Amino acid sequence: MDKYFDMSGRAVLVTGASSGLGRRFALVLANAGAKVAVAARRTDRLQNLVDEIGDSAVAVEMDVQDEASVIAGFDAAEAALGPIDSVIANAGMNSQGMAVDIAAEEFSRVFDVNVKGAFLTAREGARRMIAAGSKDSGRGRIVLTASIGAFTVLPGLAGYCASKAAVLQMGKVLAREWAGKGVNVNIICPGYIETELNTGWFASEGGQRQIAGFPRRRLMEESDLDAIVAYLASDAARAVTGSVFTIDDGQSL
């Protein structure tokens, strides 16, 4: 890994790490030299990831909707790895359906995971970074995973799009609040990548039509986000905070 993405000496916590992008992010950061705490509710799948990474990783159980669970997860991560100085708040969920058909409880659950979960994760990480002296070191890093749905109309995904727009704006507010405390907060907005959440859809006739409508008529690959995540979590992003990075292969054009 290039020196500009060197994570040596850093300890990172990644939420939603049991599958998809979270799993990929954990592997990328570990390969860049970081110690990694992988967090999710499904700890059985986390152990497989820890085994793949090796001694520099630890699995922690965390339900991002639950403040006590978030705090306990950070406690476990720091007990194993030392102070966490980079956080990737990636846990999220989707709920598909036209707005007139979505149950109120389902809409609330999307916000609980995608917005409240990101907030609780970022806040707990920032609290610990500030207590550990991030104002002097300037090494605090928080990356929030939003989506092109934050600013692109995606019919049938009202709750998801609204939640990701909230994450985007929330990230900017947090960046402003913590700028003087040495904690950088940035937001990434990926385009469509085939993961467990959407593989069934993209195999369908409707999903194939959607892909055909993209300017490059293809889905992105998980590896397309490797560089931006490693950069934003590293020392190289010293002067980057409150920024939004759209990586979507032109899908939102």
Active site residues: 160
Give 55's contacts (C-beta < 8 A, 6+ positions apart): none
Q: Which residue has the tokens 């409880």?
A: 105
Report strand pairing: 244-247 vs 183-190: parallel
The arrangement of strands across the sheet holding 35-40 comes to: 57-61, 35-40, 11-15, 86-89, 140-145, 183-190, 244-247
Give every CB contact of residue 100 below 8 A, 6+ residues apart in sequence: none
Closest CA to 122 of 177, 162, 82: 177
Distances (CA, A) of 59 to 125, 166, 186, 219: 17, 28, 24, 30
Q: How far apart are CA 1 and CA 246, in angstroms?
A: 22
- φ, ψ of residue 252 to 5 degrees: the values are -90, 0
